């Protein structure tokens, strides 16, 4: 894409691919599952035009960034360490951290753990949830009961890989469509299903792509995951319990940095985490603005780039006076 520079940097013991555009105060953009730096394609240009240095890495386990084999190398502490090391590699002392989906807890925890390096957070889709008293997989089993639950399905190494990699393009097409605001309720993502279900059973394969996702976009995502497989991204789910163990010192900790939160009102993640959303004025005392985009689903910055860009730039300019 025009104006975007690509390079490999060394950070936290891995080689990380980054896409960057612009100059000025640094903004780091952390993607989620199953995505890549490309999910921020609309924000890189807009932030650069507004006077910022926008940097979107392929996160650990994705794209052209290293994919360690060990699950224990995918904890939140590793991901925060990657972002701190990325700042060092870029020669930046501070940045505003941005995250979507799995990148959201990375952004929240960067602000929580290293407020000296991350002066503010802009987070999409996933509200802040302080470290609680129950192991994540135990909490998920309690919620799921005798039903299929995708995060638990993802725990066993090799099982989800076989399913998702059978037809990579169809998997991505289903995921991106079904979790979007374009899918009608009968075709939308169904995260809790009968016990006999598989992950792809929770999704619908569309006859037409939504307007925000082109065949060329899908080509790029498909080529990346055909090359890398899904194991790197799935390892983030498999490290949840270890993250919980290692973060005992942050039990019930609040994020005090200035924050912006944006999500779609048709995002099922919001429905599943409504309590966390409702508690954010208490758990994120620095929250300056909470925006719910009507009709938008889970892929916030891709479905509604103009609105997201405007919110980000307004927030950033408020920080910089």
Which long-range contacts (C-beta less than 8 Å, at least 24 apart) are formed by 271-279?
Answer: 272/191, 273/126, 273/127, 273/129, 276/127, 276/128, 276/129, 277/127
In percent, the amount of the chain with pLDDT more than 70 equals 100
Q: Is the pLDDT confidence value at 321 over 80?
A: no
**What is the DSSP annotation of 161-227?**
HHHHTSSHHHHHHHHHHHTSTTS-GGGS---EEETT--GGGGS---SS--TT--HHHHHHHHHHHHH
CA distance 75 to 123: 19
Q: Is the pLDDT confidence value at 1 over 90?
A: no
Q: Give 85-101 pLDDT, tens digit per residue.
A: 999 999 999 999 999 99
Which pLDDT score, from 0 to 100, does residue 147 have?
93
Which pLDDT score, from 0 to 100, does residue 2 have?
75
Q: Is the pLDDT confidence value at 29 over 90?
A: yes
Contacts of 170 (CB under 8 A, 6+ apart): 205
Which pLDDT score, from 0 to 100, does residue 274 have?
93
Q: Is the pLDDT confidence value at 30 over 90?
A: yes
Q: Give 288-306 pLDDT, tens digit per residue.
A: 999 999 999 999 999 999 9
Which pLDDT score, from 0 to 100, does residue 191 have?
85
- The CATH class of the 5-126+136-319 domain is alpha beta
How many angstroms separate the most distant Cα atoms in the chain? 55
- 33-20-307 Cα angle (round to 5): 65
Give strand pairing partners of 292.
263
Residue range 184-207: average pLDDT? Answer: 91
Length of the chain (residues): 321
Which pLDDT score, from 0 to 100, does residue 23 have?
97
Which pLDDT score, from 0 to 100, does residue 117 have?
98
Q: Give 283-292 pLDDT, tens digit per residue.
A: 999 999 999 9
Which pLDDT score, from 0 to 100, does residue 192 have?
83
pLDDT band at 110 (very low <50, low <70, confident <90, very high): very high
Which pLDDT score, from 0 to 100, does residue 157 have?
95
Q: Identify the residue whose tokens are 């794209």.
A: 63
Which pLDDT score, from 0 to 100, does residue 320 have?
74
What are the structural domain ranges in the chain? 5-126+136-319
* Average pLDDT of the chain, as a whole number: 96
Residue range 8-13: average pLDDT? Answer: 98
pLDDT band at 60 (very low <50, low <70, confident <90, very high): very high
Residue range 182-207: average pLDDT? Answer: 92
Residues identified as active-site = 101, 298
* pTM of the model as a whole: 0.97
């Amino acid at each position: 894409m025009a104006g975007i520079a690509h390079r490999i940097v060394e950070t936290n013991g891995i080689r990380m691919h980054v896409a960057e555009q612009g100059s000025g105060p640094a903004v780091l953009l952390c993607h989620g599952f199953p995505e890549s730096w490309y999910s921020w394609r609309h924000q890189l240009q807009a932030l650069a035009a507004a006077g910022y240095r926008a940097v979107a890495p392929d996160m650990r386990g994705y794209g052209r960034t290293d994919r360690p084999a060990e699950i224990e190398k995918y904890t939140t502490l590793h991901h925060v360490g990657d972002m701190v090391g990325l700042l060092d590699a870029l020669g930046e002392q501070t940045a505003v951290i941005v995250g979507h989906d799995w990148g959201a807890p990375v952004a929240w925890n960067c602000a929580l753990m290293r407020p000296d390096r991350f002066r503010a957070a802009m987070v999409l889709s996933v509200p802040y949830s302080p470290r609680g008293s129950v192991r994540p997989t135990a909490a998920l089993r309690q919620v799921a009961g005798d039903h299929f639950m995708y995060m638990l399905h993802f725990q066993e190494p090799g099982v989800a890989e076989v399913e998702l990699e059978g037809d990579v393009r169809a998997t991505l097409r289903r995921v991106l469509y079904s979790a979007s605001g374009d899918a009608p309720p009968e075709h939308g993502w169904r995260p809790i299903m009968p016990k006999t279900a598989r992950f792809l059973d929770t999704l619908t394969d569309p006859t037409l792509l939504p307007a925000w996702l082109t065949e060329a976009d899908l080509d790029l995502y498909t080529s990346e995951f055909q090359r890398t497989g899904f194991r790197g991204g799935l390892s983030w789910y498999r490290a949840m319990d270890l993250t919980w163990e290692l973060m005992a010192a942050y039990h019930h900790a609040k994020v005090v940095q200035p924050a912006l939160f944006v999500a779609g009102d048709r995002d099922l993640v919001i429905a599943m985490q409504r309590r966390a959303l409702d508690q954010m004025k208490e758990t994120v005392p620095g929250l300056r603005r909470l925006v719910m985009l009507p009709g938008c689903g889970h892929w916030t910055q891709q479905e509604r780039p103009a609105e997201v860009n405007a919110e980000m730039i307004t927030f950033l300019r408020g920080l910089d006076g």
